[in-house]
Structure 1
Amino acid sequence: MRLTRSIIAAVACSLLASAAAAAPRILVVCRGDATLKAFDATSYQPLFSVKLPGEPHEVAVSPDGRFAYTADYLGLDNTVSIIDLEKQQRVADVNVKPSYKPHGFGITRDGTRLYVTCEASRAVVELDPAARSVRRTFAMRDYGAHLLTLSPDEKWIYASSIIAGTVSFINLETGELDRTVMSGQGCEGIAAAPDGSEIWSVNRLSQTISVIKFNATRRDTTMSAVGNPIRIRFTHDGSTAIVTCALTNQLALFDREQRKETGRVVVGDFPLVVEISPDGKRWFVTNNHAGSVSVVDAATREQVSTFPAGESPEGIVYIR
């Protein structure tokens, strides 16, 4: 009888774990306690937490939702961690040497290539997630490679340099740096327009947004973004750019066609990263100083909910 009950309990736990794994989730990296936390994407209740090495800032996830990737930004282990979301544990790591201080991520739609900026090495590294190894290293002109984004056709990487204030254009077919374009002081957040025609970059110290045309060698437009702008994200239709302004606790909204700010949304203390639900109806914002995530209704452009996320949340990603 006891054995039967044990078997039933084990099966029930397994079914619950499978259901949790299949349900939409939100992953948040908390740099303060070096953890990756998972939350139910509907109830916002915590599901599990995984301890990570160093001081992780960003997170990427495989297209099938099985694995998450974080980086040891402190450089103590100098690794990219691989977290199995079904097992709810860190299962492997990839050392990015001879590059150092891995930070920002980009992953291809098929999940076969994972890219990471290495801030102390003037480099972007291409990883093979399946083989768990480094495939290629792309040299940059400037130090401070902080964040990156892939072009929609996945033929280019655009990487921001927080030190030099530039954007590097890396041709993935040739494996070479094509050009470096000045953006502004403290260039950090970066996003490619969905149609691939231009790149928008956030200049934290200049408090501006730069627009760089795909084939250009200089900025096309510069817009003011007061309040310590840090990150940027386009809505799915590409019409609006959402910029986190950390010192004003707001999201600044920019009309892409008109090239101007159209409004602000009040969120939590020191907002950093924005994620958008697959249906585009909700925006999720990590509030670093508040230790929370804000939920914004995309239609009303108002904060409708918040939930506790942990100590100093930063990177965030939605899993279907």
Structure 2
Amino acid sequence: MDNGAMKIAFCLTAAAAAFTIVAAAAQSGGGRLLVLNKEDATFVIVNPDSGAVLAKVGVGQGPHELVASTDGKYAFASNYGTGGAPGHTISMIDIAAQKELRRIDVAPLSRPHGLAFTQGKLYFTAEADKKIARYDPAADKIDWQFETGQNATHMVLPTRDLRTIFTSNIGSDSVSAISQSGGSWTQTVIPVGKGPEGIDLSPDGREVWSAHSRDGRVSVIDVATKKVVATIDAGTKRSNRIKLTPDGRYAIVSDDGSGDIVVLDASARTVFKRFAVGKSPEGVLIPPDGGRAFVAVNGDNAVAVVDLKTWTVTKKLQTGTGPDGMAWLR
């Protein structure tokens, strides 16, 4: 076989593999799990049922958070950086082609972290600059920035109508509510507990739940009034992420300090259950069907699969070294 024929055969094989991944995700009720591995600096596509790693793509150093575009064509990974080397890029990955399409340089912004994709654009935090920004993939440019003035603006969470964007500000013990009105944006700074990090929106869009990393508590914020309406003692040593189940009945908190998952009863505002998942649980993902949760157990280099009916770990998936951010491909 000559070089031309070999090249064509390789391209056809790669295309067939890409088609298989996307088609299988579409046909399977389970979808596909997308995972970022911090230490490997890789993005992987995983069959959540078999645990097989179907594809692997290199990204920038110290990747933390991951989000998929609404149409499922692209994934974005925030390359936070490592140690004294702050990152300033975001990897844009073509999921079907299984390759990094572009490495977006966000400089002079630094330490990109939290990500959200909505209305065709990517929102991200620039932690070192106390800012959030918006990237337009079609135009390949950052078209908007907002300075929170808060220390360690870590995660970003827009409401579904994009009228308000919430951020967790670890170093300022606050949550910002950045609201749009008449073409301008204004900020309400909401005091919460110590070290707010994980943040999520309730399924009905009425509440924001903020997990504090340094006092073991969770603040519940009313979206309409932008005020804390409840504080729950979750008893965590170091909360990392929080996710509400699709039915709104429970909030799942990963406790990086104890190795536990803490489950809160959302209506009773109390601890419902606590169980061990492994060393340093971080990212939490709940697919739309709500039957299971995936927990990135960073210290064990695995993703734990949790049955949300029995509240037990049913298996652990070996996805790479230091898993953290996750997303779901329908």
TM-score (normalizing by structure 2): 0.90
| SS of equivalent residue, structure 1 residue 223 | strand
Partner SS, residue 17 of structure 2: helix
Counterparts of 2:72 and 2:240 in 1: how far apart (Å)?
27
Deviation at 1:21, TM superposition (A): 2.5
Q: Indicate if the aligned counterparts of 2:68 and 2:327 stay in contact, CA closer than 8 A.
A: yes
8 Å contact from structure 2 (residues 115, 125) kept in 1:
yes
Kindly provide the amino acid, as one letter, of the partner of residue 86 in structure 1: A
User: In structure 1, what is the Cα distance between the partners aligned to 2:23 and 2:138?
Assistant: 21
2:254 corresponds, among 234, 244, 250, to: 244
The alpha carbon displacement at 1:27 in A equals 1.0
What is the aligned partner in structure 1 of residue 24 from structure 2?
23
Provide the aligned C-alpha RMSD in A: 2.1
State the percentage of identical aligned residues.
31
Q: Residue 86 in 1 paired to residue 110 in 2? A: no
Mapped to 1, the partners of 2:48 and 2:328 lie a distance apart of: 8
Counterpart of 1:270 (choices 277, 280, 287) is: 280
CA gap 1:12/1:69 in 2 versus in 1, 3 angstroms: closer
Matched residue, 1:140 = 148
TM normalised by structure 1 equals 0.92
| 1:141 to partner: Cα distance | 2.6
SS in 1 for 2:80: coil
Cα offsets for 1:168-219 (capped at 9, x unmatched): 0011444423200011111100111122222110110111101111233542
Aligned residue number for residue 57 of structure 1? 64
Name stretches of at least 5 consecutive residues in structure 2 with no aligned partner: 26-31
- Asked if the contact 1:187/1:203 (under 8 Å) is kept, the reply is yes
Displaced runs of 4 or more, over 6 A: 5-10
**Cα distance in 1 for residues equivalent to 2:11 and 2:121:** 36
Asked if residue 299 in structure 1 is aligned to residue 306 in structure 2, the reply is no
- Secondary structure of residue in 2 paired with 1:64: coil
CA distance in 1, matches of 2:184, 2:92: 25
Residue 267 (structure 2) aligns with? 257
1:231 matched residue in structure 2: 241
With 299-308 and 245-254 compared, the bigger mean Cα shift is at: 245-254
Separation in 2 of the partners of 1:48 and 1:162?
Answer: 34
Kindly provide the CA deviation profile for residues 14-59 of structure 1, in whole angstroms up to 9, marking residues without a partner as x: 3333111222221111111211111113212011211112211000
Q: Aligned ranges for residues 5-154 of structure 1 at < 5 Å?
A: 11=12, 14-24=15-25, 25-74=32-81, 76=86, 78-108=88-118, 110=119, 112-154=120-162
CA distance in 2, matches of 1:185, 1:275: 24
2:21 partner SS: helix
8 Å CA contact 1:138–1:175 kept in 2: the answer is no
Supply the AA of the counterpart residue of 2:258.
T
SS in structure 1 opposite 2:100? strand
Number of aligned positions between the proteins: 317
SS in 1 for 2:96: coil
| Equivalent position SS for 1:58 | strand
Shift of 1:2: 9.5
Contact persistence 1:94–1:134 (CA under 8 A): no
Matching residue's letter, 1:45: A
**Closer/same/farther in 2, CA of residues 215 and 64 from structure 1, 3 Å limit:** closer
The 2-side partners of 1:251 and 1:14 are apart by 40
Report the CA distance shift for 1:88/1:10 in structure 2 as closer, same or farther (over 3 A).
closer
Task: Say if 1:195 and 1:205 are closer, same or farther in 2 by CA, change over 3 A.
Answer: same
Give the distance between the partners of 1:177 and 1:124, measured in 2 at CA: 13
In 2, Cα distance between equivalents of 1:88 and 1:9: 14
Which string of whole-angstrom CA distances, capped at 9 and with x for unpartnered residues, describes residues 280-314 of structure 1? Answer: 11111100100000011111111111111211110
Give runs of aligned pairs for residues 186-225 of structure 1, distance below 5 A: 186-216=195-225, 218-225=227-234
